[in-house]
Amino acid sequence: MKIEKVVVIGAGTMGSGIAQWFAQELCSVELVDNSSEQLERAKKSIFDSWNKLVLKEKLTSIQAEKMKKLIEFKSLDTVTKNADLVIEAIIENLEIKKDLFQKLDGYFSEHTILSSNTSSFPIHLMAEAVTLARRKNFVGLHFFNPATIMKLVEVIKGKESSEEICEELYQWFDSKGKKPAMCKDSPGFIVNRVARNFYGEPLRIVDEENEEKMKEVDRILKEVGGFKMGPFELMDLIGIDVNYSVTCSVWEAYEKEPRFAPHRLQKKMVDEKRFGRKSKRGYYKYD
């Protein structure tokens, strides 16, 4: 498989990270957003990141300049129609994504693979927005933040995705130093499903608002378990509201299976607007 021209749609944190990674792999990248201000911010962030790598001598200035030339910041109607791969990384709203994919299907050439970086919607629901002919070229590609550092890409096979294309994408990412994981189109895919209990079980061990006990659980899971962060400090970093919303969405998708049930403390924190670091108060205080 040859992936030389990539279009990334959505210049938020994930989209710009994904675009940056592809440019670092010397693909020609077009990063697209409706907002020119957002594109400017993404450009500044990506270029600043490369400049820092040059200062740290992790990149040469020649390499950084080459990458800068490989990435363009555009609106959708000006991008190349014959891209090899398009990655959607816009807001997590199914209807907006479906509208976008309908447009993309009509815009890009027949060989273009359309993909979504969604973490919450089934790929087959988004594939409904494209023509039958396109559906074999429609997959999920779920990157992890920060996309330039985290090696995992979940390659998600939708109901009608071509096995061959998924396998080739898996091999391509593998050849570029990513660690792809092939998975079925099911709620939470792999990580957002299996990781739920890293939060859910410690919440049940603690079972009450007790900062000392939470600290203890965080310490043991780091010291004995080897995790880089404890569950409570990690939820505070991610945002308790964000984590709670993912928990609820996986729980609902599995028809309220008890294994995914949110804990009452999560709801309490959200109701009290204690979202973690960003609100200076979560499971811990950040004054």
Q: Which residues are catalytic?
A: 119, 142, 154, 192
Name the H helices within 136-239: 163-175, 191-194, 196-206, 211-223, 231-238
**Contact status: 189 vs other proteins (CB under 8 A):** yes
CA 281/CA 276 separation, integer angstroms: 5
Could you say which of 52, 96, 205, 209 contacts other proteins (CB under 8 A)? 205
Count residues binding other proteins (CB under 8 A).
Answer: 39
**Contact status: 186 vs other proteins (CB under 8 A):** yes
Residues in a beta bridge with 74: 32
Please report how close the Cβ of residue 100 comes to other proteins at its closest, in angstroms: 25
Are the C-beta atoms of residues 27 and 4 closer than 8 Å to each other? yes
Which stretch in 58-66, 97-105, 150-158, 161-169 sits in contact with other proteins by CB under 8 A?
A: 150-158
Which of 257, 261, 253, 255 is closest to 120 using CA atoms?
A: 253
Could you say which of 201, 239, 242, 284 contacts other proteins (CB under 8 A)? 201
Burial class (CB in 10 A: 0-12, 13-18, 19+), 278: middle
Query: Per this entry, what is the length of the chain?
Result: 287
* 221 token code pair: 């899971």
Site for other proteins, residues 261 to 280, rule: CB under 8 A: 261
Which stretch in 20-28, 39-47, 61-69, 197-205 sits in contact with other proteins by CB under 8 A?
A: 197-205
**Contact status: 107 vs other proteins (CB under 8 A):** no
Please report how close the Cβ of residue 231 comes to other proteins at its closest, in angstroms: 8
Could you say which of 13, 47, 128, 144 contacts other proteins (CB under 8 A)? 144
**Contact status: 150 vs other proteins (CB under 8 A):** yes
Residues with Cβ within 8 Å of 145's Cβ and at least 6 positions away in sequence, in order, are 13, 14, 17
